[in-house]
Amino acid sequence: MKFQMPRDVMFKVLQQLSGVVERRQTLPILGNILVKAEDETVTLVATDLEVELIVKQSCEIDTNGETTVSARKWLDICKSLADDVIVTVSQNDDRVTLQAGRSRFTLSTLPPAEFPMIEEITAQTRFSLTQSDLKKVLNATHFSMAHQDVRYYLNGLMMEMTPERLRSVATDGHRLAMKDLVADIDVSEESRQVIVPRKGVQELMRLLSDSSDDEVSVITGSNHMRLIMGEMTFTSKLIDGRFPDYQRVIPEGGNNIILADKESLRLTLTRVAILSNEKYRGIRMILKHNNLQFKAHNPEQEEAEDEIGIEYGGDEFEMGFNANYLLDAVNAVLNEQVKIILTDSDHSCLIQAAGDDSANYVVMPMRL
């Protein structure tokens, strides 16, 4: 195997692949990238057995072949080279040589036959959408995923597909985030749910662009989800479990409605949260006519108090909330005005963008 590739192109591809490679592998081969040179295209693959990323790159190939090379060492070498050099990669028995100008590096390899690849997927649903739309759906909900919860099905993002809509839902049992996107989905049943694990969601958010209108093809099977983005193919295992009935969590019929400026609310919450209890992050919310007050204190007897003007004409009452959960929801709202719907001090609050209910954020109250 022998091929040439510009350093800046090689570095970008290796950066994309490196996120998939785990630093602490159970198998040495998982620390390597599979490299295959054939027909003027170099195919590079990284996997940790849960997610897999394949990137194809056109370049000048002298000799076909395949091998596996350490992802970390190859990336570090590439990072240290000058931007404008051409890197020549050549294989000689069980060694790979990287040459750029006067620099020369020889790396050990492992047999490509040992490299695990995810099999082809039997499609149960298919649809396409833009990178920016998919990134928007993930941005709106990912922060509510549980982290290392014993209820393993909460440690991921649930995607529900119907013929007209893609819905993403995440919850950790204390809060819930839900986002809807109109989409034309080829699904064989009335609706289908899959749970994408945390690692798959995090890698997708890293790979997708906020501003790109390039198309992403999404295929889901019984055990995997595959996304094809141009010359990049990303595959993630799915969590085998039943997601809870999230519809029951969303409060209905709340008649105490707050309209607040997003930036003012965000800054006020951020300031008051500084002196909240570091472990529980609890703050008190006091609601009065056209006025919203927040209070916090901590075990060091420190206190914070702040308030903002709002549009509100309902009942006066107090509630306790986790400040971080409120902030995450407010930050996810894309409009300039936030709408908060409350029933009473014992029920969850529902947060939306004013005039847009395509995204819903539920936060359970805390007893303070």
* Residue 73: alpha-carbon gap to chain centroid: 26
pLDDT digits (tens, 9 = 90+) for 25-69: 789 999 999 999 999 999 999 999 999 999 999 999 999 999 999
Residues in the chain where the model's pLDDT stays below 70: none
Contacts with 261 (C-beta within 8 Å, 6 or more apart), sequence order:
308, 336, 337, 338
pLDDT of residue 23: 80
Please give the span between the terminal C-alpha atoms of the chain, in angstroms, as a whole number: 66
Structural domains of the chain sorted by starting position, each given as residue range(s) with its CATH number in brackets: 2-114 (3.10.150.10), 125-247 (3.10.150.10), 250-363 (3.10.150.10)
Pairwise CA distance, residues 139 & 90, whole Å: 41
pLDDT of residue 142: 98
pLDDT of residue 276: 97
pLDDT of residue 189: 85
Nearest residue to 20 (alpha-carbon basis) of 237, 258, 291, 245: 237
pLDDT of residue 352: 97
Contacts with 61 (C-beta within 8 Å, 6 or more apart), sequence order:
2, 3, 37, 38, 39, 40, 41, 42
Contacts with 215 (C-beta within 8 Å, 6 or more apart), sequence order:
128, 129, 130, 131, 229
pLDDT of residue 159: 98
